[in-house]
Chains A and B, each alone.
Chain A
């Protein structure tokens, strides 16, 4: 696929071109700038970016599958970015989120892309943000970002979203306690999944309390109950998403989040682009491997 074919294909929503464009940008290929420069900015602005996060075992992928069904019933074209962690040792990754969404495999208006965190310091936001833009530009709305809510980089990713749903389930007690501090802050919707299981009511009451607290502080956090395995509560969840999107767009929150995400991506790209140059400078900075690393870093940056 040459450059022209790729750009033409992107405009024509060709699945191969879209997929290749994402890979090139993710790999930092020189073509990235051309690709990202060719995108339809107004489509990107109009698209909804929906974050779905939560601890392992909460049922995120199953819920995402049902959410796709819900949007497809309204003939919307959907993008899904499913993020899985890379192995710290090998750098490889097992990307298994797709398994639960395979029933949409033959639907050309459901574009699923699995993405590994690649252990990047930052960088992930740049790659995921670019993927959001490519998918949105190809007519996907919403673009869903699904990620495990455990690491810092996954938390940053969620800041790319216009609306974020945190998926929880009964029986995951300790994880939820540990997450309360961080993720509850970024969540707009607290989804109590597996609402038919024991302990769901207690969890829902806890979450209602959290939502009340948020609302007291001027937030608009909502609680939804779902049984993703049977699709129950998904329609209500989508209504809540739409309502929040409307509030955020009207009240200026949407713009504020987009600007924040934009800055985050710029910073991420800057670091991403800087990294090879820095590595080169460090390599050239002499064979002396003693002395204070911070002082050396400051010295190198003086040249910028």
Chain B
């Protein structure tokens, strides 16, 4: 992956008030070690702030983490905020303490992948890789 000609830029954000950032930070570092350029926003961000940062950083994917049970409100809000900034093409992935029965609702709201505790980093990184591939392909059509 280190030999990839183009660098994928991704953004890891924590929307809402949940301060448990262990997973988000570990993932951002794992992405770095897989050759990504990972922007991290820190905790307690609003969906609008995360979307604005994703636009400024021109990332190819956004990863969100929430452990407080607010994901059904906050994850779709990020997707919506991206759309409002003309960046609806940026794929959004999510992770955290998320019950199975919420997966459908999240996917319908435009979250491309959702991961729960115990998922291997390799699996999550692969999903970012794929999401970025697709996004870059869409980009280069211009």
Contact = CB atoms under 8 A, between A and B. Distances in A.
Chains A and B touch each other in the complex, with CB atoms below 8 Å apart: yes
Interface of A: 1-3, 5-6, 14-16, 18-20, 22-23, 27, 86-87, 89-96, 98-100, 102, 105-106, 111-114, 116, 118
Contacts of B29: 94
Contact of B56 (A1, A6, A113, A116): A113
Interface residues of B, number: 35
Nearest to A116: B37
A92 B34 CA distance: 7
Interface string B61-93: 000000000000000000000000111000000
A92 B37 contact: yes
B102 interface: no
Contact of A16 (B9, B35, B49, B85): B85
Shortest Cβ-Cβ A-B pairs, 10 listed = A99-B42, A19-B58, A105-B49, A92-B32, A92-B35, A95-B39, A91-B2, A23-B58, A94-B32, A2-B142
A114 B49 contact: no
B41 A92 contact: no
Contact of B142 (A1, A89, A98): A1
B103 interface: no
B33 A87 contact: yes
B34 A90 contact: yes
B39 A22 contact: no
Given A27-B7, A90-B1, A114-B57, A15 B85 contact: yes
B7 A91 contact: yes
Contacts of B142: 1-3, 5-6
10 contacts: A16-B86, A19-B56, A27-B6, A89-B33, A93-B32, A94-B40, A98-B53, A100-B42, A102-B53, A105-B52
A19 B59 CA distance: 9
Secondary structure dominating the interface of A? mixed
A253 B58 CA distance: 35
Nearest to B86: A16
Q: Specify which of A16, A20, A111, A118 lies most central, judged by the most chain B CB atoms within 10 Å of its CB.
A: A16
Interface of B: 1-2, 4, 6-7, 9, 28-29, 31-42, 45, 48-50, 52-53, 55-58, 85-87, 139, 142
Contacts of B7: 27, 91-92, 116, 118
Given A90-B32, A95-B40, A106-B52, 8 more contacts: A16-B55, A16-B58, A16-B87, A19-B57, A89-B2, A89-B33, A92-B2, A99-B41
A27 B6 CA distance: 7
Contacts of A94: 28-29, 32, 38, 40
A102 B45 contact: yes
A268 B112 CA distance: 40
A99 B45 CA distance: 10
Nearest to A1: B142
Contacts of A91: 2, 4, 7, 35
A188 B13 CA distance: 36
Contacts of B42: 96, 98-100, 102
A98 B6 contact: no
B57 A92 contact: no
Contacts of B37: 86, 92-93, 95, 114, 116
Contacts of B45: 102, 105
Given A2-B142, A19-B57, A98 B39 contact: yes
